[in-house]
């Protein structure tokens, strides 16, 4: 597929989802088109020859994601920074992504501790576009060994605040916490952690926020979600289905994306693999849901449709194995 074709596909997807997000009626053809059936590269200017990864969307279609691109990095050798991108409905394309800059992104500080690489990634933005949770190594320590913690930044009078640590019981020294996300109830923070009490590797844990805004002791999400393999990146749609990454057996190779329907607080139906359109023998990870109900996005190092390295992809949500037929 040419880059022009890729760009056309992402424009159609973004326009459809953004129009749906603002409540306008979307008229679908009676027969599915290639746009609905295919897996599409997000295209330029989002994907580059460098690695692009974890992403999430605000209700207005604003996308926050991370990239290893060197041309916009805040400092040489910075592994990944957070970027903001908005969609231009007039041109039908993404505007040039903007590095979120300091203080949201931290420069490498290996002179302070060798684990402080300046690695900021895995952002999750609230629907109103005013709060972003993410993982960072800016407070990493070699002893005790603590590679990552979770942080939150808020937009105040148009400016993003200095990130605040989500302290214990969310961030711990031993857990290597990452991949934060808020469930549809707006009060449940889920994330991946290697803390004691799990099933092995990174497990998904969730914490409730009490009346004064404090996060309570996280709860492991159980054996329908977590296994002895790695699980991370919990993203829920308005129907209650949660999508996440897992290396469990039964996939297509590498990391796959799975789905499970919520059956109660901290309770889920057995997980189902999303199938061969999304999952490949490569690493397919970190699901995201654009505005509206039609589209599904993730990133992958699949080689069949790539700008180089790791790219962001999308498909029509009806192509998922868990989607209603």
What is the distance between the alpha carbons of residues 219 and 320, in angstroms, rounded to a whole number? 28
Question: What 3-state DSSP class applies to 94?
Answer: strand
Instruction: Parse the chain into domains and list their residue ranges.
Output: 3-319
pLDDT at 3: 37
pLDDT at 167: 96
Topology of domain 3-319 in CATH is Neuraminidase (2.120.10)
Mean pLDDT per 10-residue segment, the chain (325 residues): 38 40 34 72 94 96 96 95 94 93 97 97 97 98 95 97 98 95 96 96 95 94 97 96 97 95 96 95 95 92 82 94 68
Q: Which DSSP helix (H) or strand (E) runs through 231? A: strand 231-236
pLDDT at 322: 77
What is the distance between the alpha carbons of residues 108 and 311, in angstroms, rounded to a whole number? 24
Tokens 């640590």 label which residue? Answer: 165
What is the distance between the alpha carbons of residues 74 and 80, in angstroms, rounded to a whole number? 9
Q: Record the pTM.
A: 0.89
pLDDT at 11: 41
Strand partners, 288: 297
Which own/partner contact pairs does 24-28 have at CB distance under 8 Å and 24+ positions apart?
26/292, 26/294
Strand duo 131-136 + 149-156: pairing: antiparallel
């Amino acid at each position: 597929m040419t880059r022009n074709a890729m760009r056309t596909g992402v424009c159609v997807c973004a326009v459809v989802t953004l129009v749906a997000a603002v409540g306008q009626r979307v008229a679908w053809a009676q027969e599915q088109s290639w746009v609905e059936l295919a897996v599409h590269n997000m295209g330029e200017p989002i994907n580059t020859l460098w690695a692009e990864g974890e992403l999430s969307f605000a209700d207005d279609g604003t996308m926050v994601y991370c990239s290893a691109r060197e041309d916009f990095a805040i400092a040489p050798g910075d592994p990944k920074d957070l970027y903001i991108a908005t969609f231009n409905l007039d041109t039908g394309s993404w505007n040039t992504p903007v590095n979120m800059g300091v203080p949201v992104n931290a420069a490498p500080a290996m002179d302070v501790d060798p684990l402080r690489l300046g690695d900021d990634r895995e952002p999750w933005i609230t629907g109103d576009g005013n709060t972003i949770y993410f993982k960072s190594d800016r407070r990493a320590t070699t002893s005790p060994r603590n590679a990552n913690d979770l942080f939150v930044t808020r937009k105040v009078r148009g400016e993003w605040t200095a990130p605040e640590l989500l302290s214990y019981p969310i961030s711990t020294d031993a857990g290597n916490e990452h991949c934060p996300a808020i469930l549809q109830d707006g009060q449940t923070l889920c994330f991946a952690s290697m803390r004691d009490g799990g099933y092995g590797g990174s497990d998904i844990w969730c914490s409730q926020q009490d009346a004064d805004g404090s996060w309570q002791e996280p709860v492991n999400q159980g054996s329908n979600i977590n296994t002895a393999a790695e699980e991370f990146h919990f993203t829920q749609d308005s129907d209650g289905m949660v999508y996440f990454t897992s290396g469990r057996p039964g996939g297509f190779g590498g990391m796959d994306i799975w789905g499970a329907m919520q059956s109660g607080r901290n309770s889920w139906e057995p997980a189902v693999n999303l199938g061969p359109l999304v999952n490949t023998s490569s690493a397919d990870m970190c699901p995201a849901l654009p505005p509206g109900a039609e589209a599904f996005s993730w990133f992958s190092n699949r080689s069949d449709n790539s700008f180089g390295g790791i790219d962001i992809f999308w498909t029509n949500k009806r192509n998922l194995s868990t989607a209603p037929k």
